[in-house]
């Protein structure tokens, strides 16, 4: 759903740029509360994983594909504020390095793909975990529903932005019907990927899943033949057998494999926005990307003639750049939190 330059007019793009800047400022502050010594190193990995999975377009209808947006996944794994930052880092890397998503439309894309998806998904997720039975299955089920709803919500947000600042004269009702309809189908793929990933992390390190905090059952002790809650001070053993370092290495390796190898087999059909834009004339005034001459434009390495090798190298470079940029951002946020805590003492 990367919006290119030229779809939305300059005034609307400027306003969304301000909205995106404000959201990032709030998210940076909020991320200080969400990130701790356990989760801060993983936030950059989450961004890299989202980048990798976004390269895996999957077919959803005749001639249309979809890909992960990632807001729900990031919010549930590392927190909503950190999630906004994760997706924003991905969008920045894609726009600057790979000419994917317009640079003048960066504010539109951050508002739509990072802010809307994360806010909607986490609100739905928190509402569901409050009413569902406490447990890992409930977290996974809530993640599925939250991710499913976040995608058509982003499609509706784009439709609203297009109604305000679209550069072509297309009936808004047609745009809304087409966008929301196809993105409900894409949402099913988003939900499956999100639920599987959250479930996999919960299975090995439930303590690292932000959305699962406070949901772990109290440790039970048998006293005089009866099970009672252990004192709050008693250590609760982590069910995980996987260290944070091992999880990080495994996640990075999976991201490299997905972006460097599996992406070659992704669907070549246009994604939901591209298909709707072409069918309804939204792309009539689309502009060439400012970074179209980038050595990595269109997810290929210039002067590498073999398509498989070119795309694979671009994917691996993208994962490396994203994990480096994301880790740098979250290390700085974490350091700021530590400094603030030390000053308070």
Question: Which of 95, 113, 62 is closest to 269 using CA atoms?
Answer: 62
- Residues 27-40 have a mean pLDDT of 88
Locate 62 and state its tokens: 């005749």
> Which pair of structure tokens corresponds to residue 135?
């447990």
The pLDDT confidence band at residue 262, using thresholds 50, 70 and 90, is: very high
Residue 286 has pLDDT above 60, yes or no: yes
- 62: confidence class by pLDDT, cuts 50, 70, 90: confident
Q: Which of 329, 326, 313 is nearest to 49 (CA)?
A: 326
Is the pLDDT reported for residue 55 higher than 80? Answer: yes
For 65-117, the three-class secondary structure string (H helix, E strand, C coil) is: EECCCCHHHHHHHHCHHHHHHHHHHHHHHHHHHCCCCCCCCHHHHHHHHHHHH
**Residue 185, Cβ neighbours under 10 Å: how many?**
17
Task: Give 338's pLDDT tier (boundaries 50, 70, 90).
Answer: low
pLDDT score for 343:
59
State the average pLDDT for the chain: 90
Give the per-residue pLDDT at 75: 98
Average pLDDT over residues 249-260: 96
- What is residue 244's predicted lDDT score, i.e. its pLDDT? 82
pLDDT of residue 336: 75
pLDDT at 269 over 70: yes
Is a pLDDT exceeding 90 seen at residue 61? Answer: no
Residue-level pLDDT at 213: 82
How large is the average pLDDT for residues 324-338?
A: 87
Q: Is the confidence at residue 175, as pLDDT, over 70? A: yes
> Which tokens in the block code for residue 93?
């890397």
* pLDDT of the residue at 84: 98
Kindly indicate whether the domain formed by 10-215+250-286+308-344 is annotated with CATH number 1.10.1760.20: yes
List pLDDT tens digits, range 133-157.
988 899 999 999 999 999 999 999 9
Give residues with Cβ within 8 angstroms of 242, minimum separation 6. Answer: 204, 205, 250
For residue 239, pLDDT beyond 50: no
Better pLDDT: 231 or 1: 1
Query: Exposure pattern of 256-271 as b/e (b: 16+ CB <10 Å)?
Result: bbbbbebbeebbebbb
Does residue 240 carry a pLDDT above 90? no
Q: What is the pLDDT of residue 233?
A: 45
Distance between first and last Cα of the chain: 46
Whole-number pLDDT of residue 235 = 45
Looking from the CA of 226 toward its CB, the CA atoms found within 13 Å total 3
Question: Residues 6 or more apart from 9 whose CB is under 8 A from it?
Answer: 165, 166, 167
Residue 334: its pLDDT value, please?
Answer: 85
Rounded average pLDDT over 85-98: 97
At 51, give phi and psi (nearest 5°).
-55, -45
Provide mean pLDDT across the span 94-115.
96
More confident residue, 39 or 2: 2
The pLDDT of residue 2 is: 95
Confidence at residue 229, expressed as pLDDT on a 0 to 100 scale: 55
CA distance 139 to 47: 21
What percentage of the chain carries pLDDT values higher than 90? 79
pLDDT at 157: 98
The confidence score (pLDDT) of residue 37 equals 77
Distance, CA of 30 to chain centre: 17
Q: 48, 2, 55, 49: which is closest to 266 by C-alpha? A: 55
pLDDT tens profile 182-237: 999 999 999 999 999 999 999 888 888 999 987 654 445 556 666 555 554 444 44
The pLDDT of residue 243: 83
């Amino acid at each position: 759903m990367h919006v290119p330059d030229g779809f939305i007019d300059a005034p609307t793009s400027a306003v969304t740029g301000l909205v995106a800047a404000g959201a990032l400022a709030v998210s940076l502050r909020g991320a200080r509360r969400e990130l701790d010594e356990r989760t801060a190193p993983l936030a950059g990995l989450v961004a890299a994983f989202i980048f990798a999975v976004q390269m895996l377009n999957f077919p959803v209808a005749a001639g249309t594909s979809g890909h992960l947006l990632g807001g729900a996944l990031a919010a549930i794994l590392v927190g909503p504020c950190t999630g906004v930052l994760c997706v924003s880092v991905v969008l920045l890397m894609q726009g600057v390095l790979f000419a994917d998503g317009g640079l003048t439309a960066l504010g539109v894309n951050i508002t739509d793909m990072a802010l809307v998806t994360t806010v909607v998904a986490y609100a739905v997720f928190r509402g569901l975990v409050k009413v569902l039975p406490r447990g890992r299955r409930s977290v996974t089920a809530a993640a599925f529903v939250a991710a499913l709803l976040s995608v058509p919500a982003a499609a509706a947000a784009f439709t609203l932005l297009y109604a305000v600042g679209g550069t072509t004269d297309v009936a808004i009702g047609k745009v809304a019907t087409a966008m929301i309809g196809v993105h409900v189908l894409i949402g099913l793929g988003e939900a499956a990927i999100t639920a599987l990933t959250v479930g996999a992390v919960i299975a090995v390190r439930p303590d690292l899943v932000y959305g699962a905090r406070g949901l772990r059952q109290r440790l039970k002790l048998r006293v005089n033949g009866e099970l009672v809650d252990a004192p709050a001070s008693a250590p609760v053993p982590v069910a995980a057998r996987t260290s944070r370092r091992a999880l990080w290495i495994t996640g990075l390796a999976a991201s490299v494999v997905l972006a460097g190898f599996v992406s070659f087999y992704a669907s070549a059909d246009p994604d939901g926005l591209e298909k709707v834009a072409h069918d309804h004339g939204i792309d009539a005034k689309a502009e060439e990307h400012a970074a179209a001459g980038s050595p990595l434009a269109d997810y290929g390495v210039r002067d590498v003639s073999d398509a498989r090798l070119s795309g694979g190298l671009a994917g691996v470079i993208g994962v490396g750049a994203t994990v480096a940029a994301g880790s740098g951002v979250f290390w700085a946020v974490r350091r700021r939190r530590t400094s603030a805590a030390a000053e308070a003492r």
